[in-house]
Amino acid sequence: MNEIDLVRLNFNPGSLWALNAIIGLVMFGVALDLKVADFKAVLTMPKPVIIGLVGQFLLLPAFTFLLVLAIRPAPSIALGMMLVAACPGGNISNFLTHYARGNTALSITMTAISTAVAIVMTPLNLSLWGGLNPETANILKEVALDPAEMLLAVFLLLGLPMIVGMWAGHRFPNFVERAHKPVKIFSITVFGIFVLGALAANWRYFLDYVGFVVFAVFLHNGLALLTGYYAAKFSGLPERDRRAVSIEVGIQNSALGLILIFNFFDGLGGMAIVTAWWGIWHIVSGLTVSTYWSRRDPQGAT
């Protein structure tokens, strides 16, 4: 067993409760922008949404499994990569898609649908792909991971705040119109500060293992962006849709991943470090790709 597999990051129960509340607030803020019409939009444009979900929850976890076999990281890092691949799209994907001159409406729809689907698919994918690798399967056995228990946790973290947020947006539209941006900015800023504080408290571990983690996340995130783009391209989607699907698959909800790591894996070092670094790196890569696309006419792209 690798040394990093024995590391447990410092995180007390009070901090864990606070982190759970913060991610719930983040999802509530995101849901204020969602409407039932976003889900109904699947009926009017099902193909790009289906392609995006296939890339998000089928292709990326499978390709992540193959990447783990190829680069052979420590088991806890490997399981962290699998967990990230099992998470839904991240909260900034809609902004990045708009900046990249992609199909923003498709991005919003995919975010809504993938968040709902993740309630089932995140625990399922982690159990499936983590169980197929003997080394990561040992970690799952050690923590006695119960998929049903994780499903309930994901519902409480994603589903419940989303339902409440959508209800609030429908019931109090005037208030939400004024409040939704401050709520989103506040919740995401607080979460960012919280993660940076946790990283600072465990800085020694991060410095010890950051080299390989940076390499693994770089490859993994690049794989995610390419998976989304070429899944859309090979399916015949137009360029604006390809950009939206690529960003949606490449920008993962690492905040959810961290919550699950501290709730179910006791802050397992490799998992937490790779997921925290993904949360930083996917913003850098997302802005880089979006800036490149923002300077290219999507109608003229091939």
Number of structural domains (the chain) is 1
CB 209 within 8 A of CB 18: no
Among 134-148, 169-183, 192-206, which is the least confidently predicted range? Answer: 192-206
In a domain, 299, yes or no: no
CA distance 89 to 111: 6
Is 127 within a domain? yes
- Look at residue 300 and tell me if it is in a domain: no
Does 173 fall in a domain? yes
Angle of the 46-54 helix axis to the 36-44 helix axis, nearest 10:
100
219 belongs to a structural domain: yes
Domain CATH code at residue 243: 1.20.1530.20
Q: 127: which residues sit within 8 A by CB, 6+ positions away?
A: 140, 145, 147
Provide, rounded to the nearest whole percent, the portion of the chain with pLDDT above 90.
27
More confident call, 154 vs 82: 82
- Which pLDDT band, with edges at 50, 70 and 90, does 300 fall under? low
> What's the pLDDT at 170?
76
pTM over 0.75: yes
Q: Which of 276, 245, 297 is nearest to 54 (CA)?
A: 245
Output the CA–CA distances (angstroms, integers) from residue 60 to 98, 140, 182, 278, in the order listed.
23, 20, 33, 15
Domain membership of residue 12 as a residue range: 7-294
Note whether residue 207 is domain-resident. yes
- Report how far residue 105's alpha carbon sits from residue 117's, in angstroms, rounded to the nearest whole number: 18
* Whether the Cβ atoms of residue 285 and residue 93 lie closer than 8 Å to each other: no
Q: Is residue 67 part of a domain?
A: yes
In this prediction, residue 249 carries a pLDDT of 94
Amino acid, res. 223: L
Q: Report residue 66: phi and psi, to 5°.
A: -70, -40
Q: How confident is the model at residue 243 (pLDDT cuts 50, 70, 90)?
A: very high
Q: Has residue 169 been placed in a domain?
A: yes
As a whole number of angstroms, the distance between CA 121 and CA 139 comes to: 20
**Torsion 168-184-260-70 (CA) sign:** positive
